[in-house]
Amino acid sequence: MFGPTAMSVEFEKFREVLDSRYSQDDIALIERAFEYAKEAHTGQVRVTGEPYFAHSSTVAAKLADLKLPSEVIAAGILHDVPEDTARTIDDISREFGEDIASMVGAVTKLGKVKYRGEDRYAENLRKMFVAMAQDVRVIFIKFADRMHNMETLYALEEKKRVRIAKEVLEIYAPIANRLGMGEYRGLFEDYAFKYLQPKEYSWTQHLLEERVKKFGPAMERALKNVDFELRKSGVQGVELHGRVKHCYSLHRKLLRYKSDISKVYDIVALRILVKDIPACYAALGILHGLYTPLPGRIKDYIAQPKPNGYQSLHTSVFDDQGSVLEFQIRTHQMHEETEYGVAAHWRYKESGTTPNERQVRWMEELAQIQKELSTTDFMQHLNELKLDMFSDRIFVFTPRGDVIDLPEHSTPIDLAYAIHSEIGNKAVQTRINGEIASLDTPLKSGDLCEIIVDRNRQLPNEDWLNFVKTRHAREKIKDALRGNKPGLWSSLMKHVR
């Protein structure tokens, strides 16, 4: 049995990131993993010149910052041991148990997701999706690993930097978004942006700095005024702090507004954290009594959360000197879930909470899709999969009150096939928010959409392939037409995207 005889200086320093929610048994497990991995990596050096174990301990610290259970932190410390040292998965299983070994093994199987030819890259992505669907804790370890790689990306040659940055922007950041992990998404995007578009990154960063300087005094005044008013009114659990928009997020908004920064109100924002949901709405009322709200700028993501689980109240106001200030109001729990997403559900082992079903269902769907495709087909469909699974999402209500999660710009036909293939095949008309609309109308979050069917209809309309957005709808339409009109299939190939 391996075990340290005395706490090392390195672990003493690492222990500072472990807060009071970790028990003595938790700390003992993490220490054993720490010393085991440190010994296994002895003599190994990273490209940066640091000891290799510095990477392992940094990954573990990032997992500890997420307040994940000790087993996940231990697996993070050990994640490179089987791949880069003489120790095996069986060794780790004997020393730390099957659960930790399973996580380490899953991370190891993911390998280094690199473009070593399309077949190798596609197969690595397939493994990542399957591993995520089987145990989402694995992706937390992979995220922490990739985040530290991005922090030290400067040490690699330019070709590798660009390749890794592209992977992060196209795969890791969108996955973080779907898991509701806002902080990781923002950091992934900014690191990738820095290496993929360095000039645009520098320009956007300069704009951010100038905006913070301009609005800094107004923010300081507002922090003091709002804090005083909320506490005077007896709002419970008040905590205020500022937030600066991530560079890449600002860059994308500026593209939409043709670089007119005056149309972007949320470059800097004030966050108000309170005890519970009633306090959120009370704070909003107090805020609007203090400052004049901008018409049309109030968004209630508490009553109608975003598909990835995001909840908050947003409002923009004029302060007493005419500056426009953005406020976000949420509970402390909402804030944790906004920053850490699905990871927040593992922060307290004793809580017994499980991830939001919509947040992880797409992983299972994605794993199923990739199992049905050959490696070649998977690579050919990768862009389609990314658009379908990783795009910004909307939520649409059915007349029965069900909430359907769809990619942005989806149509009533996409909704119909998401409900059932027969609903899609027999659709003839739709009502959106009570009004008759065409079947190619782009849906928006919060729409109430009713699909009107003709039970005598046998086949979908071939022209639907020109506007449907989801892979699921497209495949169901093609299957129906192919199955009923064998001679028609060749003419449909022009619709394949």
How confident is the model over 180-217, as pLDDT tens digits? 788 899 999 999 999 999 999 999 999 888 888 888 88
Q: Pick the last residue of a domain from 325, 351, 377.
A: 351
Residue 381 belongs to some domain of the structure: no
SS3 state at 470 = coil
Return the pLDDT at 220. 87
Q: What are the DSSP calls for 119-157, one per residue? A: HHHHHHHHHHHHHHHH-THHHHHHHHHHHHHHHTGGGS-
What is the rounded CA–CA span in Å between residue 478 and residue 495? 10
Return the pLDDT at 3. 47
* φ and ψ at residue 420, rounded to 5 degrees: -170, 145
pLDDT exceeds cutoff 50 at 89: yes
pLDDT exceeds cutoff 60 at 492: no
Q: Same domain for 229 and 123?
A: no
Mean pLDDT of the chain, nearest integer: 82
Residues 287 and 327 sit within 8 Å (Cβ to Cβ): yes
Residues of the chain with pLDDT > 70: what percent?
80
Return the pLDDT at 128. 65
Q: What is the mean pLDDT of residues 66-88?
A: 92
Q: What are the DSSP calls for 317-386, one per residue? A: EE-TTS-EEEEEEEEHHHHHHHHHGGGGGGS-GGG-----HHHHHHHHHHHHHHHHS-HHHHHHHHHHHH
Which domain, by its residues, includes 123? Answer: 9-195
Give the lowest-confidence range in 160-169, 331-340, 389-398.
389-398
Q: Same domain for 55 and 162?
A: yes
Dihedral angle over CA of 418, 421, 424, 425, nearest 10: 170
Number of structural domains the chain divides into: 3
- For residues 91 and 346, the model is more confident at 91
Residue 362 belongs to some domain of the structure: no
What is the rounded CA–CA span in Å between residue 111 and residue 401? 43
Q: Pick the last residue of a domain from 351, 368, 402.
A: 351
Residues of the chain with pLDDT > 90: what percent?
43
Task: Give the total residue count for the chain.
Answer: 497
Residue 367 belongs to some domain of the structure: no
Q: Same domain for 151 and 205?
A: no
- For residues 127 and 428, the model is more confident at 428
Q: What is the mean pLDDT of residues 472-483?
A: 86
Q: Which residues are catalytic?
A: 83-84
Residue listed under structure tokens 């947003």: 314
CATH label of the domain that carries residue 445: 3.10.20.30
Q: Same domain for 401 and 319?
A: no
CATH label of the domain that carries residue 187: 1.10.3210.10
Q: Pick the last residue of a domain from 301, 330, 351.
A: 351
- What DSSP state is assigned to residue 50? S
Residue 446 belongs to some domain of the structure: yes
Give the lowest-confidence range in 98-107, 228-237, 263-272, 488-497.
488-497
